[in-house]
Amino acid sequence: MTRDEALTLVKAHVKNRNLIKHMLAVEAVMRRLARHLGADEEDWSLAGLLHDIDYDQTADDPAAHSQVGAEILEREGLPEHIVYAVKVHNHYHGLPRKALLDKALYAVDPLTGLIVAAALIHPDKKLASIDSEFVLNRYREKSFARGADRSVIASCDELGLSLEEFVSLGLEAMQGISKELGL
């Protein structure tokens, strides 16, 4: 599946513009991590772009989220390793994250929310105005962006990355698509 085909599929299933922006952010960070780790950038970015394809359908049912998405992606003929990464990014299922792709998608998902929240508290609300130190300071504030699970973000160590390096790579990736994100 090409990136354009994936984006068309996303737009067919996801109507919430902010959710689409989140998926674009995860795509960008996954691509940047793949490049850094020497992994397949196309597969990693597709997993990031498609990871919440079922969220509009399953928002009220955490047990179904990512299971339904995996079924959609399976029907679309995506490779099994991408389907599996999407399925296991939801910790609700308790499935093992085996491959680096699985672990990366799991850790990146809440990181993008933390970075967006950090940008939004800056006076100009721009990604270009914040740096990784600013994000790390917000990370340490337990009451800030409570939905961004710190333990999940900290699982970046399973990728062989320090928290500082992970945040830096994530912020760099998101700054690269700031126009698309409206930040």
**Count of beta carbons in the 10 Å neighbourhood of residue 143:** 5
3/94 Cα distance (integer angstroms)? 29
Give the residue numbers spanning the domain of 164: 3-181
**Mean pLDDT calculated for residue range 75-100:** 95
* CATH number of the structural domain spanning residue 130: 1.10.3210
pLDDT in tens, 96-122: 999 999 999 999 999 999 999 999 999
pLDDT in tens, 161-175: 999 999 999 999 999
pTM > 0.85: yes
Query: According to the model, what pLDDT value does residue 86 have?
Result: 98
pLDDT in tens, 6-23: 999 999 999 999 999 999
Question: What confidence category does residue 66 fall into, taking pLDDT thresholds of 50, 70 and 90?
Answer: very high
**DSSP characters over the chain:** --HHHHHHHHHHH---HHHHHHHHHHHHHHHHHHHHHT--HHHHHHHHHHTTTTHHHHTT-TTTTTHHHHHHHHHTT--HHHHHHHHHTSGGG-----SHHHHHHHHHHHHHHHHHHHHHHSTT--GGG--HHHHHHHHH-TTTTTTS-HHHHGGGGGGT--HHHHHHHHHHHHHTTHHHHT-
Domain count, the chain: 1
